[in-house]
Amino acid sequence: MAGVGGGNDFQWCFSQVKGAIDEDVAEADIISTVEFNYSGDLLATGDKGGRVVIFQREQESKNRPHSRGEYNVYSTFQSHEPEFDYLKSLEIEEKINKIRWLPQQNAAHSLLSTNDKTIKLWKISERDKKAEGYNLKEEDGRLRDPFRITSLRVPVLQPMDLMVEASPRRIFANAHTYHINSISVNSDHETYLSADDLRINLWHLEITDRSFSILFCSSKGTIRLCDMRAAALCDRHTKFFEEPEDPSSRSFFSEIISSISDVKFSHSGRYMMTRDYLSVKVWDLNMENRPVETYQVHEYLRSKLCSLYENDCIFDKFECCWNGTDSAIMTGSYNNFFRMFDRNTRRDITLEASRESSKPRGILKPRKVCTGGKRKKDEISVDSLDFNKKILHTAWHPKENVIAVAATNNLYIFQDKMN
């Protein structure tokens, strides 16, 4: 499975875009998280309005064997509502910060969705049959008078239009003082972790009123990895990942830009990837003193840090993701650009998620930012970048070269071109 474009062997092309075309973006429609499920057949998005939209991939049709299935809406539901914390006189946003699929254990699908304070376990089940011919009630639900019943019959299952229902199964609340920024399901499938800026909580999926809390120091540019198999207390069995700071590049913003906005384990479990403001680093879990690979995402922003600090962009939390074979990584940038790095060939590419390049099966053209000197044709200069258009959330299909990119209120799906 190849990862990155550039060259004759592999190219990305447009597949679909979901969302309104309006220039005027409703705040509630801004997509705040994107996540494929384990098989890649389902793609869930959460938005600022607290809604979850799940897309399902259509089965590949026999008529067009070379085109992969499209993603269409499977289910939509309101996961979280805005709340008001009366103790602190603060609003709690309904924005969905994270969605995590649980491994499928029966016909239904389950996922965890969280806003800043509350995590909910949703069960999504299909219904395509209904029972007809009840003895004690009419078809419309009215109860029948028992004395009127003269004969018994067995209810019969009749087919009906597919209905997808989402129902909340568990609500895990009131355990985070600060904003929950991520959740992660453990491999035992019974417990999961939720993290805010200061604490990690460990929950059991069945128990909603209690959680274990692991406190840790939040420090810049470092990761603490705790082995929970070895001991319940995490102080001894931890790894501490930190890269020594380069003193010559120290600035007022060194701490802010080394603050890590996302961490993702590789599918193999051998590596870990961290995203800070300007770069992505790949760490070998056996080597704590420095990363094995560092990729510059948008180094040209280093000279703009003061302005980015002023307009708060420096606090943007970009996510990153691995492809299914861990050979490539992807992360977002500004101006609706996103970047992919091939770990084997060391090639990288910058692509743009925009309506202009959204022709069906149209090949995406690589983009380039001009960092100084003469601007070549098709390059864009740093000062022309639109910092309102940021791609914070991206997801890579676990098995195929299909990616989902959230650009404000639009969800773009790209796939590789079949040669």
Instruction: Enumerate residues 395-414 that contact other proteins by CB under 8 A.
Output: 408
Sites for other proteins among residues 154-183 (CB under 8 A) = 173-175, 177-179
Of residues 23 and 138, the one with the C-beta less far from other proteins? 23
Of 1-9, 119-127, 279-287, 309-317: span binding other proteins (CB under 8 A): 309-317
Single residue of 16, 186, 204, 212 touching other proteins by CB under 8 A: 212
Min. distance of Cβ 222 from other proteins in angstroms?
Answer: 7
Q: Is 235 a residue that touches other proteins (CB under 8 A)?
A: yes
Sites for other proteins among residues 25-64 (CB under 8 A) = 25, 27, 30, 48
Give the integer Cα–Cα distance in Å for 151 and 193: 55
Single residue of 38, 58, 72, 90 touching other proteins by CB under 8 A: 90
| Other beta carbons less than 10 A from residue 179's beta carbon | 17
Instruction: Tell me the backbone φ, ψ of residue 346, rounded to 5 degrees.
Output: 65, 20
Q: Is 289 a residue that touches other proteins (CB under 8 A)?
A: no
Give the integer Cα–Cα distance in Å for 121 and 167: 8
Min. distance of Cβ 392 from other proteins in angstroms?
Answer: 11
What burial class does residue 285 get, using C-beta atoms within 10 Å of its C-beta: 0-12 exposed, 13-18 middle, 19+ buried?
middle
Min. distance of Cβ 174 from other proteins in angstroms?
Answer: 5
Of residues 211 and 401, the one with the C-beta less far from other proteins? 211
Min. distance of Cβ 173 from other proteins in angstroms?
Answer: 7
Min. distance of Cβ 340 from other proteins in angstroms?
Answer: 23
Single residue of 219, 296, 358, 371 touching other proteins by CB under 8 A: 219
Give the integer Cα–Cα distance in Å for 326 and 292: 14
Q: Where are the beta strands (DSSP E) in 48-118?
A: 51-57, 71-78, 83-85, 90-92, 98-101, 109-114
Of residues 112 and 403, the one with the C-beta less far from other proteins? 112
Sites for other proteins among residues 257-276 (CB under 8 A) = 259
Q: Is 242 a residue that touches other proteins (CB under 8 A)?
A: yes
Closest C-alpha to 80, from 214, 150, 180: 180
Single residue of 302, 365, 368, 417 touching other proteins by CB under 8 A: 302
Of residues 135 and 384, the one with the C-beta less far from other proteins? 384
What burial class does residue 226 get, using C-beta atoms within 10 Å of its C-beta: 0-12 exposed, 13-18 middle, 19+ buried?
middle
Beta-bridge partner residues of 177: none
Q: Is 86 a residue that touches other proteins (CB under 8 A)?
A: no
Min. distance of Cβ 179 from other proteins in angstroms?
Answer: 6
What does the DSSP assignment read for 8-53? SS--EEEEEEES---SS--GGG-EEEEEE-SSSSEEEEEETTSEEE
Q: Is 78 a residue that touches other proteins (CB under 8 A)?
A: no
Of 121-129, 187-195, 213-221, 289-297: span binding other proteins (CB under 8 A): 213-221
CA angle 24-113-199, nearest 5°? 110
Instruction: Tell me the backbone φ, ψ of residue 305, rounded to 5 degrees.
Output: -60, -35
Q: Is 296 a residue that touches other proteins (CB under 8 A)?
A: no
Sites for other proteins among residues 182-201 (CB under 8 A) = 196-198
Q: Is 211 a residue that touches other proteins (CB under 8 A)?
A: yes
Of residues 185 and 308, the one with the C-beta less far from other proteins? 308
Give the integer Cα–Cα distance in Å for 219 and 255: 9
Single residue of 162, 232, 287, 292 touching other proteins by CB under 8 A: 232
SS3 104: coil
Give the integer Cα–Cα distance in Å for 125 and 164: 6
